[in-house]
Amino acid sequence: MKPPAFDYCRPDDLEEVLELLARHGEEASLLAGGQSLVAMLNLRLTRPRVLIDISRLEPLRRLERRGGALEVGAGVTQAALAESLRDSEDSPLLKLALPWVGHYQTRSRGTICGSLAHADPSAELPLCLAALGGSLRLGSARGERELSAEDFQLGPLTTARAPDEMILAARFPLPRPGQGVAFREIARRHGDFAIVALAAIAEGEEIRLAVAGVADRPAVRGWHHEEATLEEALNAFAWDLEGYDDMHASARYRRDLVRRLGRSVIEEARACRS
């Protein structure tokens, strides 16, 4: 479990990062918190020639309200975001979900944008971004662009980020008045990859339900709430996710959880509409 040889760069500013990315493209990996990357390096699952360490770049640690969203810079750790949300109402959903992201220890290094870039289909943060209809700001030497969560995550560990691009920030829409949110996760042990994680957002009679851990990326479905058809809607959603068996859970169990816990997160989100 030793990585193959690679070059290590720790640029002093963002321009240099983008320059290095432009130069090395696919051969480069960005190192932020390293909670997924370093393990993959040691397992030799990934073999970048160049590792670009962005963990000490001050400008990426920005965390601010901007244009109706909470904008989280690429250097913001999960622990830092959790801390900032402790006494704030900027993202009730993230506040619920963050304690489920890995473990206390991994959150102190792991970054929000790192988790989004890694795009694990079971991960909580991509789920939240998708549920809220958030977006990502991507930057490269060619310029900047913004992609919706839906357009960004394409499959397991696969995103629309071009090889010379990096995530500059993630944008989580601020809560709207009257919105209620709920989050629920089932994992084998606390901190494990979710078998199923669900986030619900209720606004008036509108419902958005997002599910991670079943399809190959977070899936979001919205509908107008009607008690009479909820069961049917959840069953259809559960089947449409086309989940599969792995050693921890069967596709059937995952569908059962979507049906049963889907109902309870929706009820919870509706109950806490402000």
Interface residues with other proteins (CB under 8 A)? 1-2, 4-5, 29, 37, 40, 43-48, 118-122, 154-159, 186, 188-193, 195, 215-216, 231-232, 235-236, 239, 242-253, 255-257, 259-261, 264
CA distances from 147 to 109, 133, 136, 159, 268 (A): 25, 11, 5, 11, 30
Cβ atoms of 111 and 101 within 8 Å: the answer is no
Shortest distance (Å) from residue 174 CB to other proteins: 29
Buried b (16+ CB within 10 A) or exposed e, 208-218: bbbbbbbbbbb
What is the C-alpha separation between 229 and 69, in angstroms, rounded?
33
> Based on CB atoms, which residue is closest to other proteins, 11 or 191?
191
> Based on CB atoms, which residue is closest to other proteins, 157 or 174?
157
> Based on CB atoms, which residue is closest to other proteins, 28 or 128?
28
Helices (H), 98-202: 104-107, 112-118, 124-132, 149-152
Shortest distance (Å) from residue 258 CB to other proteins: 11
> Based on CB atoms, which residue is closest to other proteins, 20 or 69?
20
Shortest distance (Å) from residue 200 CB to other proteins: 16
| 153-155 and 158-159 strand pairing | antiparallel
> Based on CB atoms, which residue is closest to other proteins, 15 or 231?
231
- Residue reference for tokens 């009679």: 205
What is the C-alpha separation between 168 and 172, in angstroms, rounded?
13
Shortest distance (Å) from residue 108 CB to other proteins: 17
Contacts of 247 (CB under 8 A, 6+ apart): none
Shortest distance (Å) from residue 122 CB to other proteins: 7
> Based on CB atoms, which residue is closest to other proteins, 86 or 189?
189
Shortest distance (Å) from residue 146 CB to other proteins: 18
